[in-house]
Amino acid sequence: MIIVLKKGATVEQVEEVSTRLTEEGLKVHLSEGVEKTIMGAIGDRMRIEALDLEALPWVEKVVPIMAPYKLVSREFHPADSIIRIGEHEIGGSNVHVMAGPCAVESRAQILETAHAVREAGATFLRGGAFKPRTSPYSFQGLEEEGLRYLAEARAETGLLVITEVIDAQDVSLVADYSDVLQIGARNMQNFILLKAVAKCGKPVLLKRGPSATLEEWMMAAEYIMDGGNYQVMFCERGIRTFESYTRNTLDLSMVPALHALSHLPVIVDPSHGTGRWQLVHPMAKAALAAGADGLIVEVHPHPEKAVSDGKQSLTPETFQGMMADLARLTLALDRKLGE
């Protein structure tokens, strides 16, 4: 249920409603807007109705949320959520680009890439230190050594770090080195991991599973928010279809769909979404035109030598050209690229 309080409701009145709800064993989530305060109550619907909260003079209305996802829903939080990470805001008028290699391969590689993407206008550095791979014989990542290289690159360039965490037991370690935790597509419904990142307090980028429906994806985000972490961003990275020319089918219809149903920011990954570096630039433009709040793109100084995903990685030169093009596009969209 959503309890909408009238404009001017006092702290004491909000607390009284909250106390009534918690005494009935309900979870309470508060969303304070400029005009109104909205309370989300999760639990037995009959108990909420029995409280007759609409009889309170400072309660405007009590509305049931029919969708299975509650906290993720725009019904619960009508205004767009702004995720503040360091000095950056995601979900507002600025469009942010997260760029870097698929995997952190060496100190020299990540530092070279970090300086290149920073110069081109990226605000976040991406790079995998823990790599979940289809084959057990493929490169699995440098683990903590790779995290240290990412932290060093952040110190040199000022770029914030986003990297993937693949196991609940590693959440605190990865959180110590990074600014944003990425939940990869394979782990979208790893509920133990979702509960763990909910407790860590760091922003989370939740990638869509390769076969996940919109509702399943939103319910995965609900796990994180229900655990107390409201700093969640969706990431559309393509789904598996019958098409074999591209690595995945980048479903850009999810960008406006998510914005209609949810208040959370939406990031698009055109690198994994296509699997071909030649398609990254045009699909990045299409993503921003569809309303994406940011992009996450793979960039490698020498894609032909990359240990993973070289075919979908841009060179620093092609990335710089794309960024110049995106800067012009964002102006036409009445937005701004980066800071």
Same domain, 96 and 216: yes
Same domain, 182 and 88: yes
Same domain, 57 and 161: no
Q: Give the single-character DSSP code of 181.
A: E
Which residues lie below 8 Å from residue 213, measured CB to CB, with a gap of 6+? none
The DSSP code sequence of 162-178 is EEE---GGGHHHHHHH-
Give percent of the chain with pLDDT exceeding 90: 82
Q: What pLDDT, on a 0 to 100 scale, did the predictor assign at position 122? A: 98
Residue 40 confidence class, pLDDT cut points 50, 70, 90? confident
Q: What pLDDT, on a 0 to 100 scale, did the predictor assign at position 151? A: 98
Same domain, 28 and 115: no
**Which comes out higher in pLDDT, residue 256 or 41?**
256
> Using CA of residue 139, residue 143, residue 146, residue 150, what is the dihedral sign?
positive
Same domain, 36 and 136: no
Residue 78 within a domain: no
Supply 294's token pair: 């940011």
Domain that holds residue 93: 83-337
pLDDT, tens digit (0-9, with 9 covering 90-100), for 138-184: 778 899 999 999 999 999 999 999 999 999 999 999 999 999 999 99
Locate tokens 């009445």: which residue? 334
Same domain, 137 and 184: yes
Give the domain CATH number at 36.
3.30.70.1140
Give the domain CATH number at 205.
3.20.20.70
pLDDT, tens digit (0-9, with 9 covering 90-100), for 184-230: 999 999 999 999 999 999 999 999 999 999 999 999 999 999 999 99
**Which comes out higher in pLDDT, residue 110 or 137?**
110
Same domain, 140 and 11: no
Residue 70 within a domain: no
Cross-strand bridge partners of residue 86 = none
Domain count along the chain: 2
pTM over 0.75: yes
**Angle CA(153)–CA(168)–CA(158) in degrees, nearest 5?**
15
pLDDT, tens digit (0-9, with 9 covering 90-100), for 249-264: 999 999 999 999 999 9
